[in-house]
Amino acid sequence: MAKVKIEGNASGTGTFTIAAPNSNTDRSITLPDAAGELLLANGDGSNLTGITTGKVLQVVAGYGTSQVDTTDSSNWTSTTVTASITPSSTSSKVLCLVVLGIEVAESGDGNIGIRYRLTRGGTSIYQPAASYGLMIRENTTVYKQLDIPAAFNYLDSPSTTSSTAYLVEFQAEQSGVQVSANTAYVKSSIILMEIAA
């Protein structure tokens, strides 16, 4: 029959107590048939092995610093919603979580729309909708305004260990109609999470 041995440390002076919980149910704990250390309740798990994928290796956050306006429907305008991350491996994925505070407003007839996209290193990598990200369709001469957070996620494969910048860009759906990003009413953020592949 195998035995359980509790061995003290010759150099330590502290007393360790194994305390039972307040329970009326019998419990059994089976020790692993291998050498090693048990993870404590207050451990951070940094020494765990055998987990090769899906671990979150680092998290970086960025926040919009000011409002940006545009009436351009042909060219993309940079917002202040940006963050940079340096992946630890070329095989890592980067999960991008974006909340873009946007405002569309018009005082005449017609549609009000805004397009937005995510770029990496100046190159577009994801646009939530092919034609527009948000559109109000209303035929009235009454002033119209909408402030709303537009949220989207994207799992990227940058294949690099260099510092990589992610930036949100936007443009108007209708030329001459002002649209805004990161307004005083709705703030913006971007969170980048490196995921072990």
Predicted confidence at residue 130, as pLDDT, reads 62
pLDDT digits (tens, 9 = 90+) for 132-191: 666 655 555 566 677 888 899 999 999 999 999 999 999 988 888 888 999 888 899 999
Residue for token pair 């195998």: 2
C-alpha to C-alpha distance for 57 and 194, rounded to whole angstroms: 5
The predicted structure's pLDDT at residue 31: 83
- 151 belongs to a structural domain: yes
Residue 18 within a domain: no
Cα–Cα nearest to 36, from 25, 50, 24, 26:
50
pLDDT at 20: 87
Most confident of 34-38, 45-49, 77-81, 125-129: 77-81
Residue 14 inside a domain? The answer is no
Query: Has residue 79 been placed in a domain?
Result: yes
In a domain, 120, yes or no: yes
Question: 1: which 2 tokens?
Answer: 């029959």
Contact by Cβ (8 Å): 123, 105? no
Q: What is the pLDDT of residues 52-94, one digit of tens each?
A: 677 899 999 999 999 999 999 999 999 999 999 999 999 999 9
* For the ranges 1-10, 27-36, 40-49, 118-127, the one whose mean pLDDT is highest: 118-127
Where residue 98 falls among pLDDT bands split at 50, 70, 90? very high
Q: Any idea what the Cα angle at residue 35 is, between residues 32 and 37, rounded to 5°?
A: 85
Distances (CA, A) of 96 to 41, 50, 99, 139: 30, 26, 10, 36
d(CA 1, CA 33): 14
Q: Is residue 136 a part of any domain in this protein?
A: yes
Instruction: Give the residue among 174, 187, 190 at the shortest CA–CA distance from 117.
Output: 190
Check residues 72 and 128 and name the one with the higher pLDDT: 72
Q: What is the CATH number of the domain that holds 74?
A: 2.60.120.1340
Once rounded to an integer, what is the mean pLDDT over residues 87-109?
Answer: 87
Judge residue 96's burial from the number of C-beta atoms within 10 Å of its C-beta, 0-12 exposed, 13-18 middle, 19 or more buried: buried
Residue 96 pLDDT greater than 90, yes or no: yes
Averaged pLDDT for residues 119-142: 74
What is the pLDDT at residue 104?
81
Report yes or no on 28 lying in a domain.
no
pTM, two decimals, is 0.72
pLDDT the model gives residue 139: 53
Domain membership of residue 143 as a residue range: 56-195
Predicted local distance difference test score (pLDDT) of residue 147:
82
Q: How many structural domains compose the chain?
A: 1
- The answer to whether the CB of 173 falls within 8 A of the CB of 69 is no
Q: How far apart are CA 161 and CA 62, in angstroms?
A: 20
Whether residue 29 lies inside any domain: the answer is: no
Instruction: Please tell me whether residue 51 adopts helix, strand or coil conformation.
Output: coil
Which stretches of the chain are assigned E, i.e. beta strand?
56-63, 68-70, 77-85, 93-106, 110-120, 123-126, 134-138, 144-156, 164-172, 179-181, 189-195
